[in-house]
DNA sequence: ACAAATGATACTAATATGATATCATTACAT
DNA sequence: ATGTAATGATATCATATTAGTATCATTTGT
């Protein structure tokens, strides 16, 4: 069972790291801290930037910075960049496999489960992850005391 | 989001089909009804048999038959044959990626979601799928009125 | 002995994932 | 203006997984 891929995981780490920064941060610095292969990290940052989650600047004092507050960045938004849409509308089986859809109970059950996952991914934010992780796991789901 | 693969899906259909049979059924018949590529269906049936979910017989009057009642075949058992263990013990990232596991809040959250999926896959049986699907979706989770 | 079935297994093709490499563009400093 | 430090865009490569095919071996009833 693999709900998130490596890209998504790395992306979350990048976002968590940048949450502690007031200024733009350069790829080489992130690499130093996060131990993610440089070229890979760079591409991930670029994709986050293209998606609007990071804001970038080229040139001399360039780098990346969060476009929004951590609590406003949902895991879903990040995951969809790297793993494609989590939407429930597209059929479970992408190409014409489900012959009698109307009675496909299994499909409905799977969709229910996916709906649950979707809700969780929607409600969980980078802010939550920061809060939960930094206090050594004693606090959960309370993001209001952290900017 | 892909919770089940094609193998698993086909396997469930095979099991549902065989639920309506009292006698052994031969691959060519299943192919006729289920429109699954013959060689593929055969290999899936063989794997189900090897796993003990189907019982097979070689030779002249050979074929496949359910080893247990539909209500006793869990989706989890089927899915694990084709998709590997759904166990929550193996680390989310299979090889040494998570540097500080203790504080990995994201990982814990993902594990919680996976736990939910696991529970659903454990409780959903072929019997449920038969019951839910055959009554055109009006009944759910009531497997007691069907053998 | 033959035919009808599954068992075991090897192979191929397509897609997804993980990662790297390279050239283009931008922006500041001198 | 030029060099350097940065990201943008994109192409490529390697590996793993998924989907599907093919073949030979074995069993069994007639």
Q: pLDDT tens across A36-88, in order? A: 999 999 999 999 999 999 999 999 999 999 999 999 999 999 999 999 998 76
Q: Considering only alpha carbons, which residue of chain A is nearest residue B100?
A: A133
Across the A:B interface, residue pairs with CB atoms under 8 Å apart total: 98
Picking from A35, A105, A129, the nearest residue to B133 by CB comes out as: A105
CB-based contacts of B90: which residues, under 8 Å, 6+ apart?
A: none
Check residues B145 and A104 and name the one with the higher pLDDT.
A104
Q: Considering only alpha carbons, which residue of chain B is nearest residue A85?
A: B1
Q: Is the CB of B3 under 7 A from strand C?
A: no
Check residues A128 and B147 and name the one with the higher pLDDT.
A128
Share of chain B above pLDDT 90, in %: 69
B91-122 pLDDT per residue, tens: 554 444 455 544 477 888 898 999 999 999 99
Are residues B107 and A13 in contact, defined by beta-carbon separation less than 8 angstroms?
no
pLDDT of residue A132: 76
pLDDT surpasses 50 at B86 = yes
Which residue is closest to D22 in terms of CA–C1' distance? B39
Q: Give the model's confidence band at B87: pLDDT under 50 very low, under 70 low, under 90 confident, else very high.
A: confident
Q: Buried b / exposed e across B116-145, counting CB within 10 Å, b at 16+?
A: ebbebbeebbbbbbbbbbeeeeebeeebee
Least-confidence region, from A1-10, A17-26, A133-142, B106-115: A133-142
pLDDT of residue A145: 39
pLDDT surpasses 70 at B147 = no
- Considering the domain A6-134 in this protein, what is its CATH number? 1.10.10.10
Are residues B104 and A130 in contact, defined by beta-carbon separation less than 8 angstroms?
no
pLDDT surpasses 90 at B43 = yes
Check residues A26 and B130 and name the one with the higher pLDDT.
A26
pLDDT of residue A89: 56
pLDDT surpasses 70 at B23 = yes
Q: How far is the C-alpha of A43 from the C-alpha of A54, rounded, in Å?
A: 12
Q: Buried b / exposed e across A79-117, counting CB within 10 Å, b at 16+?
A: bbbbbeebeeeeebbeeeebeeeebbbbbbbbbebbeeb
CA distance B43 to chain A (A): 18
Which positions on strand C lie below 7 Å from a protein C-beta?
3-10, 17-22, 25-29
pLDDT of residue A87: 75
Share of chain A above pLDDT 90, in %: 67
pLDDT of residue A133: 59
pTM comes to 0.85
pLDDT of residue B133: 58
pLDDT of residue B91: 52
Q: A116 and B114: CB-CB below 8 Å?
A: no
pLDDT surpasses 50 at B85 = yes
pLDDT of residue B104: 72
pLDDT of residue B108: 83
């Amino acid at each position: 069972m693999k709900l998130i891929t490596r890209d998504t995981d790395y992306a979350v780490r990048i976002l968590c790291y940048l949450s502690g920064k007031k200024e733009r941060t350069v790829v080489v610095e992130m690499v130093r801290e996060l131990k993610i292969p440089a070229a890979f990290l760079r591409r991930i940052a670029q994709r986050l930037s293209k998606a609007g989650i990071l804001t970038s600047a080229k040139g001399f004092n360039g780098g990346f910075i969060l476009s929004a507050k951590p609590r406003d960045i949902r895991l879903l938004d990040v995951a969809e960049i790297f793993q494609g849409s989590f939407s429930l509308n597209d059929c479970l089986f992408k190409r014409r496999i489900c012959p009698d859809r109307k009675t496909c109970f299994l499909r409905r059950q799977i969709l229910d489960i996916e709906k649950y996952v979707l809700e969780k991914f929607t409600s969980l934010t980078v802010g939550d992850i920061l809060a939960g992780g930094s206090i050594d796991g004693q606090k959960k789901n309370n993001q209001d005391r952290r900017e």
